[in-house]
C-alpha cells in the first residue's frame, strides 16, 4: 500500500504559501513525521526543479519516505523519485506508464467518477480526488463533498488521496467516507509546519485508535 493507516498524511509543497524552498519544506515535514511528499512547482525552470528534486530525493531516501513529483515525468525518472503525479491535461496515463515502466508509482488527479474510473482502468496506482471542501490553494472547481467521495469509493479499488480544505478537525469524516490518505497544502504550510503536522498526526492517530 502507498499510504500507511497510522500516517496517511500527504504533503504537497508550495513556495508561495510557506516562503521556504521545496527542500526546506520537505526537510521540516519529514522531521515532523510525514512519510509522503509531493514536489509541486509551476513557476521555476525545469532545471531548478531538477536541482530541488535531487536534494529531496536524498532526504526522502534517508527517511524512507515516498517522494512524488508533480507533472514532470522526466525529472521523476532522472532523480529516481518513487512516483509522478499527473493532472488531467498532462501526459496521458498510458504514455506515462509506457515510459516509466511498471515499478514507478503514477497518481492521477480526478474530479469526478468518470475520471477516477478511467485512471483506475488505465493502470494508475492511486488517484487524487477533490477539492473535497472549499479551498483557495488551487482552482479546481466547486467542492465535491464527502458524499461524492463515499460514492466514488464504491467503484474505485485503488487508493484515494482526498484533497482540498482538509484540516485536523475534519480528518475523521474524510477517512470514514473512503479516503486512504489526505493530501494537504495550506493546512501544513501556513504557520509553523512542524506544529501543524503534529496536530494532523494526532487527529489521524485518534481516528485509527
Read off the pLDDT of residues 66-96 as tens digits, 9 standing for 90 and up: 999 999 999 999 999 999 999 999 999 999 9
Which residue among 51, 138, 153, 198 is the active-site one? Answer: 138
Asked whether residue 4 is assigned to any structural domain, the reply reads no
Does residue 42 carry a catalytic annotation? no
Q: How many CB atoms lie within 10 A of CB 77?
A: 15
Asked whether residue 48 is assigned to any structural domain, the reply reads yes
Asked whether residue 2 is assigned to any structural domain, the reply reads no
C-alpha cell recorded at residue 190: 501556513
**Cβ–Cβ < 8 Å for 162, 149:** yes
In angstroms, rounded to a whole number, what is the distance separating the alpha carbons of residues 5 and 2? 10
pTM of the model: 0.94
Asked whether residue 25 is assigned to any structural domain, the reply reads yes
Asked whether residue 29 is assigned to any structural domain, the reply reads yes
CATH of the domain at 25: 3.20.20.70
**105: containing domain:** 9-208
Asked whether residue 3 is assigned to any structural domain, the reply reads no
If pLDDT is split at 50, 70 and 90, which confidence band does 206 have? confident
Asked whether residue 17 is assigned to any structural domain, the reply reads yes
If pLDDT is split at 50, 70 and 90, which confidence band does 56 have? very high
Which residue among 15, 27, 40, 97 is the active-site one? Answer: 40
Does residue 144 carry a catalytic annotation? no
Asked whether residue 167 is assigned to any structural domain, the reply reads yes
pLDDT at 207: 76
pLDDT of 25 higher than 80: yes
Does residue 138 carry a catalytic annotation? yes
Which residue among 15, 35, 97, 109 is the active-site one? Answer: 109
pLDDT at 155: 97
How many independent structural domains does the chain possess? Answer: 1
Amino acid at each position: 500500500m502507498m499510504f500507511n493507516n497510522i500516517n496517511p498524511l500527504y504533503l504537497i509543497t508550495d513556495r508561495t504559501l510557506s516562503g521556504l524552498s521545496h527542500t526546506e519544506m520537505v526537510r521540516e515535514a519529514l522531521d515532523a513525521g510525514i512519510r509522503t511528499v509531493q514536489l509541486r512547482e509551476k513557476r521555476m525552470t525545469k532545471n531548478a526543479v531538477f536541482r530541488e528534486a535531487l536534494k529531496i530525493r536524498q532526504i526522502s531516501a534517508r527517511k524512507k519516505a515516498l517522494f512524488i513529483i508533480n507533472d514532470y515525468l522526466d525529472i521523476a525518472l532522472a532523480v529516481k523519485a518513487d512516483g509522478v503525479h499527473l493532472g488531467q491535461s498532462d501526459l496521458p496515463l498510458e504514455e506515462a506508464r509506457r515510459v516509466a515502466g511498471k515499478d514507478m508509482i503514477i497518481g492521477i488527479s480526478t474530479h469526478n467518477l468518470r475520471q477516477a474510473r478511467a485512471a483506475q482502468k488505465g493502470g494508475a496506482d492511486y488517484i487524487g480526488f477533490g477539492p473535497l471542501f472549499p479551498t483557495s490553494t488551487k482552482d479546481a472547481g466547486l467542492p465535491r463533498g464527502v458524499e461524492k467521495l463515499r460514492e466514488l469509493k464504491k467503484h474505485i479499488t485503488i487508493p484515494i488521496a482526498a484533497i482540498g480544505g482538509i484540516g485536523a478537525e475534519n480528518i475523521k469524516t474524510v477517512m470514514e467516507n473512503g479516503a486512504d490518505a489526505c493530501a494537504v497544502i495550506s493546512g501544513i504550510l501556513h504557520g509553523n509546519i512542524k506544529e501543524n503536522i503534529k496536530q494532523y498526526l494526532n487527529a489521524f492517530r485518534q481516528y485509527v485508535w
